[in-house]
Structures are given as C-alpha cells and as structure tokens.
Chains A and B, each alone.
Chain A
Amino acid sequence: MMIEVKIVSRGGQGGVTTARILAKAAMEEGLYSQAIPQFGAERRGAKVYSYLRIDEKPIRRHTKVEKPKIVAYFDEKLVEEDYAEIKILNGFAEGFCCLNANKIAEELGLVSSGWYLISSPMSGAIAKVLGISLSSLKYAVMSEFSSKVNENVLAAKRGYEVVKC
C-alpha cells in the first residue's frame, strides 16, 4: 500500500528537506519513495507544501497528493482542516503527535537568521510514525547535510525519541 504524507511548513523551516530526508530513509529501508517540493514560488515565511510518497513497488504517479494519510505541521498557526489519519505537530495540541522541534533546534544550534531549522527533528518524528528505523534515518540525514552534520543527526534522533502521540 502506498503511503502519502503532506508536509506543511513555512519557507525556510526545512519542509522540502524533510521530504527528501524521509524519501532517502525509506529508500535505505529498501522501499520506493518520492519527494515532491511545492512547485514554483517558495518564499521565506510563506506557507509551503511538500509531499512524500512511499511504496513497496515503483511509484508511477506524479500528480499532487490529494488525500494524505499523514500530515505534518511545522507550526501551530499552519494547521488547517484535513482528513488525515495521523497528524504531527511542532507544538502541543489535542489529537496530534507532538514535539517541540524548535527547542531541539535551539539546543543544537540549528538556527539561521532567527529561524529554527527543524527539518531534522521533524524528520525524526515523522520517521517514527512511519516506522522507519533510526539507522536508515541517520543515514539519510548524514547524506543530506554538508554542514552541522552531527547536530542534525542528533536532532533527528531526539525528534524520533520525543514525539508523543
């Protein structure tokens, strides 16, 4: 069964990178995957959608994800109406799998121009929900970053461990 994930973030938070990390981690698990960035004018601070597909067989479709099973929100103000089975939130609210990704990013110095870079902790949380192994996640994070690699690996691990549903 194909699993589809929608990632709702602000331009600069790392939503697109999160989709790539998870696609790589799924590939490392021996699965097929697809990371789809929002097409067009991504701007810092603007609402950005990215998508992830994971399947046991090659993924053929390329149109946008319509009915994601999982939705991840990178900030409480981004939450919108959805019909997802599982919702993940950077923040705390009823009915969500929650974590404080900003705090993890701050503690590890993953901040740029006042923005918390939360692709790694959020990847960790989503990977946990997806059932992706920690070792595949670490591999993906390491291959995606060229600076602050250890901090990002640690942030992903913390996101993986602290997310609560």
Chain B
Amino acid sequence: MQERLQDESYKSGKRVLLNGNQAVAEAVKIAEPDVIAAYPITPQTPVVEKLAEFVAEGVLNSEFVNVESEYSALSVVYGAALTGARVFTATSSHGLAYMYEMCWWVAGSRVPLVMALPTRSIGAPWNIHSDHSDVMILKDVGWIISMAENAQECFDLTLIGFPISEELNIPYSVSYDAFMVSHTAEVVEVRDVELPKRKQAYKILPNSEFALNAVTVNDARHKARKTLMKDLENSRRKIEKIGRCFLGEDFSLAEKYRVEDADYVIVTYGGWSGDFKDVVDEMRDEGVKIGLLKLRFLRPLPEEELKEISGDVLVVDRSALYKFGGMGGEIKRIIPEAKNVIAALGGYEIGYSEIKALVRRFVSGKIGEVEWYP
C-alpha cells in the first residue's frame, strides 16, 4: 500500500467522496436558490433527488416545485427569476430538447439562472449514455456554457455559476459527461464559502408597471439579440474575476497544460481531459513536446488561448455537427490547420490505451482533417 498523504490538501477544507451529480447538489445547497424546479431524466435524476432530500430535511431553504415536464421546469424558474428569486434547474438530453423553446426565452429575457446539464446522447436510436449532442444544441442559444472535467469542477463551476449569471444577466449551464462524471464518485473539497445574495437587474412583481416581451416590431428584437451576443462575447473578464474570487488566482476560461513549448496540442473539454493529460505526461517522458488545452467554457469561447497555441492542433469532440465535431468546425475558424476527431458517441466506451493510440496517430501525422474514431 502507498504512503499516507500528509500534505495540506488533506487537512484543508472538507474532503468528501461525491459523484458529479452530488457535487452539483452540494454547490446548489450553498447558493440556496429561492426556487428549484426540475423534471427527472437519466443521468440528471440524482441531482434532483439530492436537492429534494435537502429541502425535506430542512437543510436547504428552497421552494421545490414538482413539474410535469422540462418545458414547465424552465418556465417555472423563468417566472420565479423575474420576481427577483435565485433559481436552479437541471436536465439532460431529451429533456433539454423538450425545454428548448424556453431556453431561448430565458436567454432573450436576460434572466439569470443556473442549469445543470449532465451531457447525454439524443435519440434515435435510443441511448442514455454520454456524448455532447445535447450541450451542442444549447451552445448557440445565448447561454454561458461551462464544461466540468470532474466532480470537483462540477462543484466549483456550479458554485460560481450563480454570481456569474447574476452579474451578466445571462443564463448559465454547468455541463458534465453522463456517468463518467455524473456517476463516478471522487474526492471533492467542498469549499467553505458564502455566496452573495442575488444581484437584481430588475424585478417584476404583481404591482410592477413593466411590460416584458410584448410583440416587437422594427429594431427591438434585433437590438436585444445583438446586445446579448455582444455581452456574451465580452463576458470573459467578469467570469474570470468572479471565478478567481471564489476558486483562486489561476482560474481561467481554459486550462493550459504543458503547452508552452509544445509542437503538438490537443484541445479537449469534459471528462476525457484527465485521460489526455495522463497521455501528455507519458509522451513528454518519451521526449515528445506535446501539451493540452482544456476548454473550461464553450461559451464564451476561450479565443485568446486558442490563438496563443502553436504547433499541430487536434480537437477532440464527442458530438457530430455537419461535417465536423461540435467544437472542431468553429475552432478551425481560429486555427484553420487544426485536425478534428469525432470520438465515441452514445457512450461507446474507449479506454485509456485507445486514447493513447489516438494521440500517437495524431503525433505521427496520420490523422486527416476530420475523422471518426472509431
């Protein structure tokens, strides 16, 4: 057996064994939303169950609204958020598709809210497993999209989601791979922090004289969409400022791992990032100058880091849009020579050895512009 760890990380904070879903629920408990509404769907169900348990035990003082669908879940928190309430919901896959119309309404109305999205494939064929098809349909609606690598990031990115969303008045999603992150229990430091109360942009109460989203003509809709897109594009500094305040000085939209002198850079996001980092370490030991850029946020896109990296680039996606993977196509706008792999959809299991084999193929120049793996 190994030596006991006696470093500071063991003593500081509160280390507990949590899976991704439980880590999200722990962070929501700290944020203490006024209203939670969600409809269960695999693999998101444990988030909702845990929060319902917290409310029933009296350790979380939230109004928990049971709804009959995801469309209603987002509608309920939308209405509540307009009255000035802090709100939370969660869904996955077909649930996201079912609430899709409301995703646009909350974004266009500039409503702050946090939604957990363990990422799952969308049928057909029927599949409950991990890929990123669902988060890709949310990506361009006008939400802030964070993507957790592990249970610790599920906790961290949920926690900062509330102040970020409330600062920018843009809805916020914390996304994480189904099962691989949502159901895998890991050591998590539950940070001992307090969040500020919800910051108010506006409140609509029964006696308010306020018209929201009436039928618009001429420039209103154009201006609203333009402002949202510009605000999202320029949200980086505010996101990082809040992130650093709660999570430490090295927090940023993307994590640069051994990229400084790299001849090869792999761009990843989500649960596979750690496997790829292990491969980077192994290949560095062999003398290959390779690094990794992990996108912690898909929206806003960490363009500065993407522009900085040099050498051959491989973008690893777990979803397929037309011709390219979910992020591959748009990263090629920044790095035209980037290669793209669309890997293992619908929970198709690939192991560490296959990830290593993929990286070796990339380094030996055997991967084309876009490839499916397998």
Q: Could you list which residues of chain A lie within 8 angstroms of chain B, going by C-beta atoms?
A: 1, 3, 19-20, 23-24, 27, 29-37, 39-40, 54-56, 58-64, 66, 130-132
CA A29 to CA B4, docked complex, whole Å: 6
With contacts A31-B2, A33-B186 known, is A62 near B17, CB below 8 A?
no
CA A31 to CA B9, docked complex, whole Å: 10
Q: How many whole Å from A113's CB to the nearest CB in chain B?
A: 23
B6 interface residue per 8 A CB criterion: yes
Number of interface residues of B (CB under 8 A): 38
CA A156 to CA B222, docked complex, whole Å: 65
Contact B352 A59 (CB under 8 A): no
Residues of chain A within 8 A of B355, CB atoms compared: 63
B45 interface residue per 8 A CB criterion: no
Contact B17 A24 (CB under 8 A): yes
Residues of chain B within 8 A of A30, CB atoms compared: 4-6, 10
B180 interface residue per 8 A CB criterion: yes
Q: How many whole Å from B282's CB to the nearest CB in chain A?
A: 11
Contact A62 B271 (CB under 8 A): yes
Contact A36 B274 (CB under 8 A): no
B184 interface residue per 8 A CB criterion: yes
Contact string against A for B residues 163-183, beta-carbon threshold 8 Å, 1 for contact and 0 otherwise: 000000000000001111101
Residues of chain A within 8 A of B273, CB atoms compared: 60
Residues of chain A within 8 A of B350, CB atoms compared: 63
Partner of B179, one of A3, A24, A40: A40
CA A33 to CA B96, docked complex, whole Å: 32
B349 interface residue per 8 A CB criterion: yes
Most chain A Cβ neighbours within 10 Å, of B16, B178, B352 = B352
CA A98 to CA B186, docked complex, whole Å: 29
B1 interface residue per 8 A CB criterion: yes
Residues of chain A within 8 A of B146, CB atoms compared: none
CA A59 to CA B277, docked complex, whole Å: 11
Known: A39-B183, A66-B351. 17 other contacts (CB 8 A): A1-B2, A20-B17, A23-B185, A30-B10, A32-B187, A34-B187, A40-B128, A40-B129, A56-B5, A58-B187, A60-B150, A61-B278, A62-B184, A63-B272, A63-B350, A63-B352, A130-B1
With contacts A30-B6, A35-B184, A39-B183 known, is A62 near B15, CB below 8 A?
no
With contacts A39-B347, A63-B275 known, is A31 near B352, CB below 8 A?
no
Residues of chain A within 8 A of B17, CB atoms compared: 20, 23-24, 27, 33, 35
B194 interface residue per 8 A CB criterion: no
Residues of chain B within 8 A of A19, CB atoms compared: 185
Contact B186 A59 (CB under 8 A): yes
Q: Give B188's nearest chain A residue, CB to CB.
A: A27
Contact B183 A62 (CB under 8 A): no
Contact A64 B351 (CB under 8 A): yes
Residues of chain A within 8 A of B213, CB atoms compared: none
CA A59 to CA B1, docked complex, whole Å: 16
Q: How many whole Å from B17's CB to the nearest CB in chain A?
A: 5
Q: Give A132's nearest chain B residue, CB to CB.
A: B1
CA A58 to CA B235, docked complex, whole Å: 31
Q: How many whole Å from B158's CB to the nearest CB in chain A?
A: 18
B3 interface residue per 8 A CB criterion: yes
Residues of chain A within 8 A of B181, CB atoms compared: 62
Partner of A66, one of B10, B177, B352: B352
B353 interface residue per 8 A CB criterion: yes
Q: How many whole Å from B114's CB to the nearest CB in chain A?
A: 23
Q: How many whole Å from A126's CB to the nearest CB in chain B?
A: 12
Q: Give B277's nearest chain A residue, CB to CB.
A: A60
Most chain A Cβ neighbours within 10 Å, of B2, B130, B179, B272 = B2
Contact B184 A34 (CB under 8 A): yes
21 contacts between A and B (CB under 8 A): A20-B17, A23-B186, A29-B4, A32-B5, A32-B187, A33-B186, A34-B186, A36-B183, A37-B179, A37-B183, A40-B129, A40-B179, A56-B3, A58-B187, A61-B274, A61-B275, A61-B352, A62-B272, A63-B180, A66-B352, A66-B353
Residues of chain A within 8 A of B128, CB atoms compared: 40
Residues of chain A within 8 A of B180, CB atoms compared: 39, 62-63
CA A15 to CA B171, docked complex, whole Å: 39
Q: Give B185's nearest chain A residue, CB to CB.
A: A35
